Amino acid sequence: METVDLKLAPSDEAVRLGIIGTGLAVKWIHWPVLQKLAGMYTVVTVCDIDPAAAEATAQKAAEELGSPGCTWTTDYHDVLSNPAVEAVLIALPIQLTARVILEAVRAGKHVLAEKPLASNLEQARNLVETLGEYKNLVVEIAENYHYRTDLQKAKEWIAAGRIGEPILIEMSSHHWVDKDRGFGTTPWRQTDEYGGGILVDAAIHHIAGLRELGGDIARLQAFITSAHPFMAGPDTLNLSLQFRNGVIGSLLFSGAIKTAQPRYMEVAVYGTRGEIKISYGQAVLNASSGENDKPTLVEEVTLTREDSGYLSEFKNFYEAIRQGAAVISTVEETYHDFEIITQAINSAASGQIVQF
């Protein structure tokens, strides 16, 4: 596999990484990135409660990531106590994430953890507060929507006034979570052990995307249902919101829709002079030259999988550790994502508008 040209300075040695959890997120999302960024990371050890999975992943690290001597364990405390490990990738069930993040920083390790950062709002709030005591360590939450190239391009167009004053932001995602393949096969997801179901696990991405485009949210109201026959917890959301800048927005999301054309993220941003559309690997800018003119194509960007944000997450983590770069997807930023999806669920339960 072709690697990315890292252009590392001699002092920028590979980060010595320990992996805690070797499930689907690591296999399908993180592993291809680590292969591309082989010069940035050396995997020292891996952990999984399944010894066969742990051993197989350690062997793959040696063969595919240029990490000879990678060890394995079934106890994550072994990873945290290993002096050769300076940073950990945490990819665990949602209900375990906050606890292990705290244990990792207390062990003096930098942390890159899968989203969301906790399983409930109080736990998330306490985590953010406690992590403030560890400013010498890098803690990043792997929310790829804070790194997606299409969303960043849309932000550039909006900031440059290419569509005039923004008025409305719409986002939608309609698909079916299959219990026999993909992330839906995971038992802890099927039983909703963390609370919040598919919304907390998946729709939180779209909240991050909305916040990237519109900024902080001032108020919201939501309607929610649970329609999936196999996945526990809420799975379908109709969210209306208003951003602090006055722009209004919406999110229609469902992981329980059987459709011939699944849509994992489609976005439309409408302004006084035009529109931005994002879908299926393309970001399109249409704008008008006059007040009564119909918007026409101005710019179109075609995107690849590397633009989905996963590669940038790991590059940001490396650069924050080795070069002092600012973390983009901070615990504070992802706390707000989690707060919005949690309060959307609360709004649906109470029937009330939630103010921030």
Residue-wise pLDDT for 200-249, tens only, equals 999 999 999 999 999 999 999 999 999 999 999 999 999 999 999 999 99
Examine the pLDDT at 19 and tell me if it is beyond 80.
Answer: yes
How much of the chain, in percent, has pLDDT values that exceed 70? 97
CA distances to 19, 62, 69, 92, 103 from 77, rounded to whole Å, are 12, 22, 19, 14, 9
Examine the pLDDT at 252 and tell me if it is beyond 80.
Answer: yes
Examine the pLDDT at 7 and tell me if it is beyond 80.
Answer: no
Examine the pLDDT at 109 and tell me if it is beyond 60.
Answer: yes
| Structural domains of the chain ordered from first start | 15-145+310-329 (3.40.50.720), 148-304+338-355 (3.30.360.10)
Q: Which residue has the higher pLDDT, 287 or 292?
A: 287
| Residue carrying the six token digits 């469902």 | 254
Query: 318: helix, coil or strand?
Result: helix
- What is the Cα–Cα distance from 340 to 143, expressed in whole angstroms? 15
- Dihedral sign, Cα of residue 189, residue 195, residue 196, residue 201: negative
Query: Residue 136 burial (CB < 10 Å; 0-12/13-18/19+)?
Result: exposed
User: Cα angle at 15 between 14 and 16, to 5 degrees?
Assistant: 110
Pair of tokens at residue 79: 């990873």
Residue-wise pLDDT for 58-74, tens only, equals 999 999 999 999 999 99
The predicted pLDDT at position 79 comes to 98
The predicted pLDDT at position 3 comes to 37
